[in-house]
Amino acid sequence: MKANRVQVEVVTIGDEILIGQIVDTNSAWMATELNKCGFELAQITSIHDDEKHIIDSLNLALERADIVLFTGGIGPTNDDITKQTLAKFFNTKLVFDEAVSQNIEQLFVNRPTLVLNELTRAQAMVPEHCTVIQNLVGTAPITWFEKAGKVIVSMPGVPYEMKQAMSLEIIPRLQNFFKTPVLLHKTVQVYGYPESALALKIADWENQLPKYISLAYLPNSGIIKLRLSGLLDDMLALEFSINQQVDKLSQLLGDAIVAYEDVSIQNLVGDLLKEKGLMVATAESCTGGNIAHEFTLIPGSSEFFKGSIVAYANEIKTNVLQVSTESLTQYGAVSQSVVEQMAEGVRKLLKADIAVATSGIAGPAGGALEKPVGTVWIAVSSAEVTLSREFRFGSLREQNILRATQAALLMLKEII
């Protein structure tokens, strides 16, 4: 049976998120780590540096959850009031902490360009009667409070300070405090189904899942990730059961399953290419360099990626990629003939083992009745074979570029 997981709430304090200055990447990271360690994140709340709002949020969170994690609002400047507010909440006062002071001085020894000012020294004041955890990479200490079997932690909002504190101190202490079991996850990536069609297709399978396995649909530019999460005391039995369910799903969906792990398609393609010792090149019209960009975001991509010709103007298709002018005139740039010649052309020009080419109408302009916006031809070419396929995506430019990129990577994956 599904165990009741320990409930966590994250409260981020500060203006940055609420005025749109930064994207809250901390919460996604914390959610992933907490989930992996068997905790369940029940709510994320972002609020301003406001005493009443902080206390209200804490009271509400304690009604629902076992753990409340505050991030941010503990810097040296005047607008940061979390520490004072928590001291008030716990009916205690701020006291000077020698260990924190030494930790801060140590940090400044190593960074002679920084100046140890009054504001920074004030960081060594902490609420009395709490557990202080040293912040080894910043001046704001982490404070840990316990109340009626529940835990409240206040930590910095700076991402690398937060991550260091969570990984090395807070999560291990929470696991110890709550004696949590470990979760098991398995992700299956499915291509070619809209979400609703996939839901219908696997409805019977979904309904027969044991109660201790839960399913999440996670759509992303044409691919839907199905994540199975299991929680059971007997880990071997759980592993066996999850694999059994994935086998059933595999029989049901066949080739629509493009990956059995939670990695990006460009990483999968990159790994396959390296494994087979193949070098890839791209010829991009409608994707405009985005396939190349996705490959080159991967560290070490020079081991499998040669380069790309972004042939946005038609004359580059003919002059550089050797597409025949006749084909361009007769069939248009968005055609099977042209995209196949682009793939072959770039493979030969850049001396690659395999190549992929895209040509399409990303929009908003350029559509016609026969070839509406969203029409994309994609070809993959190796020394042995050239394959091509027509796609019809939607009407939005950015979406079309992303979907064409995804589709091109999947066609590459098939042929490797």
Of residues 178-217, which lie at the interface with a second copy (CB under 8 A)? 194-197, 199-200, 216-217
Least Cβ distance, residue 129 to a second copy (angstroms): 27
> CB within 8 A of 376, min separation 6: which ones?
286, 334, 358, 359, 360, 361, 390, 391, 392, 393, 400, 403, 404, 407
Closest listed residue to residue 397, CA positions, set 359, 365, 356: 365
Closer CB to a second copy, residue 28 or residue 237? 28
Contact assessment for residue 217 and residue 189, using Cβ atoms and an 8 Å cutoff: no
Scanning residues 244 to 303, which ones bind a second copy (CB under 8 A)? 279, 282, 284, 286-293, 295-297, 299-302
Tell me how far apart the 2 most distant CA atoms of the chain are, in Å. 83
Residues 309-338 that bind a second copy (CB under 8 A): 309-313, 315-316, 319-320
Site size toward a second copy, by CB under 8 A: 107
List the one residue from 93, 102, 131, 160 that touches a second copy (CB under 8 A).
160
Do 145 and 203 contact (CB within 8 A), yes or no? no
CB of 376 to a second copy, least distance (A): 12
Residue 151 and residue 145: Cα distance in Å, rounded? 6
Residue 387 Cβ, how far from a second copy at the closest point, in Å? 19
**Strand pairing class (67-71; 150-155):** parallel
Q: Is 236 exposed, middle or buried (0-12, 13-18, 19+ CB in 10 A)?
A: exposed
State the minimum distance, in angstroms, from the CB of residue 306 to a second copy.
5
Query: Among residues 269, 342, 362, 411, which is the contact residue for a second copy, using CB under 8 A?
Result: 362
* Residues 50-79 interacting with a second copy (rule: CB under 8 A): 53, 60, 75-79
Identify the residue among 37, 38, 46, 253 touching a second copy (CB under 8 A): 46
Q: Is 41 in the site for a second copy (CB under 8 A)?
A: yes
Q: Which H helix or E strand runs over 6? A: strand 6-13
The residue type of 300 is: G
Q: Give whichever of 96 and 240 is closer to a second copy, judged by the CB atom.
A: 96
Q: Give Cα 236 to chain centroid, integer Å.
A: 28
Q: Which of 4, 91, 98, 112 binds a second copy (CB under 8 A)?
A: 112
SS3 99: helix
Which of 114, 237, 263, 383 is in the footprint of a second copy by CB under 8 A? 114
Q: Assess 397 for contact with a second copy (CB under 8 A).
A: yes
Cα distance between residue 217 and residue 279, in whole Å: 34
199 vs 237 by CB, closer to a second copy: 199
* The token pair that represents 157 in the structure block: 């909002």
Q: Which of 6, 37, 47, 223 binds a second copy (CB under 8 A)?
A: 47
Binding status of residue 368 toward a second copy by CB under 8 A: no
Report in angstroms how near the CB of residue 88 gets to a second copy at its nearest.
Answer: 20
Interatomic CA distance for residues 74 and 77, integer angstroms:
8
